[in-house]
């Protein structure tokens, strides 16, 4: 069970893409389908826990590696030094908590999983991460948003691979 994090810099607009190839440089080869991971986006919400459970079930059934990813937006640099650092620390704690909750679900199910913490726009970073890891599938939770755009909708539109949006299950009447 490992969690890795990107460098906590205040510059969040760095693209998460490979540098341009040089003449004669080798391009990375595609991962074999059986080693391509399932990427599950988590954010600490109830919907993310539903997505984590769905991702764990799929990874167990398919025998696929599982990677949980948390994307933090990052505080505004306009807050000033002490406030910026406190806010950044709080956001990083929330990310570790969300990843630890998801990793605990995988551990209870006996599925090996890792966690990654990224910074930037959630939908964009999840799609980029899945592309770089050559993920076979993306799993997200479904949340109703009153204001703003749905992250899952942006991921569906921007992804070049299958996306599963796990919704809450209603109780089945007896």
Q: Is residue 106 part of a domain?
A: yes
The overall average pLDDT reported for the chain is: 79
Range of the domain at 121: 33-166
Per-residue pLDDT tens over the stretch 34-74 = 679 999 999 988 889 999 999 999 999 999 999 999 998 87
**Which SS3 state, helix, strand or coil, does residue 120 take?**
coil
Report the relative pairing of strands 38-41 and 66-72 from DSSP bridges: parallel
Q: Is residue 154 part of a domain?
A: yes
In the prediction, which pLDDT does 146 show?
62
Would you state the structure tokens that stand for residue 3, as one six-digit string? Answer: 């969690």
H helix count then E strand count, the chain: 4, 6
Would you state the structure tokens that stand for residue 23, as one six-digit string? Answer: 């003449």
Domain count for the chain, please give it: 1
CATH of the domain at 78: 3.40.50.620
- As a three-state string, the secondary structure of 11-66 is CCCCCCCCCCCCCCCCCCCCCCCCCCCEEEECCCCHHHHHHHHHHHHHHHHHCCCE
Q: Is residue 39 part of a domain?
A: yes
Q: Is residue 173 part of a domain?
A: no
Whole-prediction pTM: 0.74
Per-residue pLDDT tens over the stretch 122-163 = 899 999 999 999 999 999 988 766 656 678 888 888 888 999
Q: Is residue 8 part of a domain?
A: no
Per-residue pLDDT tens over the stretch 74-91 = 777 676 778 888 888 888
Q: Is residue 65 part of a domain?
A: yes
Q: Is residue 114 part of a domain?
A: yes
In the prediction, which pLDDT does 26 show?
46
Q: Is residue 64 part of a domain?
A: yes
Helix (H) / strand (E) element for 106: namely helix 81-109
């Amino acid at each position: 069970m490992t969690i890795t994090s990107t460098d906590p810099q205040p510059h969040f607009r760095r693209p998460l893409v490979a540098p341009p190839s040089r003449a004669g440089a080798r391009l990375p080869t595609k991962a074999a389908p059986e080693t391509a991971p399932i990427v599950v986006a988590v954010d600490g919400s109830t919907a993310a826990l539903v997505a984590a459970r769905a991702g764990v079930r799929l990874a167990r059934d398919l025998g696929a590696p599982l990677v949980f990813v948390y994307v933090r937006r990052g505080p505004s640099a306009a807050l000033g030094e002490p406030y910026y650092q406190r806010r950044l620390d709080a956001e990083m704690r929330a990310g570790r908590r969300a990843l630890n909750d998801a990793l605990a679900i995988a551990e209870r199910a006996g599925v090996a999983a890792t966690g990654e913490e990224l910074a930037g726009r959630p939908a964009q970073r999840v799609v980029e991460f899945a592309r770089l890891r050559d993920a076979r599938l993306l799993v997200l939770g479904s949340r109703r948003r009153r204001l703003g755009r749905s992250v899952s909708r942006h991921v569906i539109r921007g992804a070049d691979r299958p996306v599963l949006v796990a919704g809450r299950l209603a109780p089945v009447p007896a």
